[in-house]
Chains A and B, each alone.
Chain A
Amino acid sequence: DAGVIQSPRHEVTEMGQEVTLRCKPISGHDYLFWYRQTMMRGLELLIYFNNNVPIDDSGMPEDRFSAKMPNASFSTLKIQPSEPRDSAVYFCASSTLGLEDTQYFGPGTRLTVL
């Protein structure tokens, strides 16, 4: 299996621009998680989906952030408009049994907002 796939690996953009991060979970995994990692706050869960339905988005910092999962093999995290404080590494992870189960992480997208 190819594991969790994320794109792009690096994104540099200017403040105010829209940013879209993409994730393809491991085939057969019903749960998908979006995390953000910074030096200050560590790894934080933003939102997670079960069978393409958002279950908990309480970690989404602001309305500027939105996530979708149109089908079992694709999810996006969008930031509009982006701000410098959004600079971080964003990870996508997937699992078979949700919160009880081991989560498998993608390689991450390093976002820099200038």
Chain B
Amino acid sequence: EDQVTQSPEALRLQEGESSSLNCSYTVSGLRGLFWYRQDPGKGPEFLFTLYSAGEEKEKERLKATLTKKESFLHITAPKPEDSATYLCAARILGNTPLVFGKGTRLSVIA
């Protein structure tokens, strides 16, 4: 069964304390790995798509990386406004929908 697992479920950081969120996947052929940010009461907002192992993408304080088994979302010197739930989703072979993880709730404390 195709699965996407995110860890930790929740993460609390001090402002400026860098860390990483993990997204591990067991899918039958990865076509793409998506990262989304979701603020309370809002829909997920697209951040990145990664397609192949070794690929990296950056946006402000966020950097996403991909290996053959997992993806990491690195947050450098986070600020309180980075607090949100971060979701990853895998696009697999065939005409199948995205498989979403349950997300990591990030809280950045000033």
A: residues with CB less than 8 A from B are 4, 33, 42-45, 48, 55-56, 59, 91, 93, 99-100, 102-108
CB atoms of A103 and B46 under 8 A apart? yes
Is B103 among interface residues, defined by CB-CB distance under 8 A? Answer: yes
Interface residue total, chain B, C-beta cutoff 8 A: 22
A59 to B87, CA, bound (A): 20
CB atoms of A100 and B43 under 8 A apart? no
Is B8 among interface residues, defined by CB-CB distance under 8 A? Answer: no
CB atoms of A45 and B44 under 8 A apart? no
For residue B78, which residues in chain A have a CB less than 8 angstroms away from its CB?
none
1/0 per residue, CB under 8 A from A, across B83-110: the answer is 0000101010001111011110000000
A34 to B46, CA, bound (A): 16
CB atoms of A105 and B43 under 8 A apart? yes
CB atoms of B43 and A48 under 8 A apart? no
- The 8 Å CB contact of A59, one of B42, B46, B91, B97, is B97
Instruction: Given A43-B87, A43-B100, answer yes or no on A104-B46 (Cβ-Cβ < 8 Å).
Output: yes
B105 to chain A, nearest CB (A): 11
Instruction: Given A42-B102, A99-B97, answer yes or no on A106-B43 (Cβ-Cβ < 8 Å).
Output: yes
- The 8 Å CB contact of B34, one of A4, A33, A102, is A102
A43 to B6, CA, bound (A): 13
CB atoms of A100 and B103 under 8 A apart? no
CB atoms of B31 and A100 under 8 A apart? yes
CB atoms of A56 and B103 under 8 A apart? no
CB atoms of B49 and A107 under 8 A apart? no
For residue A99, which residues in chain B have a CB less than 8 angstroms away from its CB?
91, 95-98
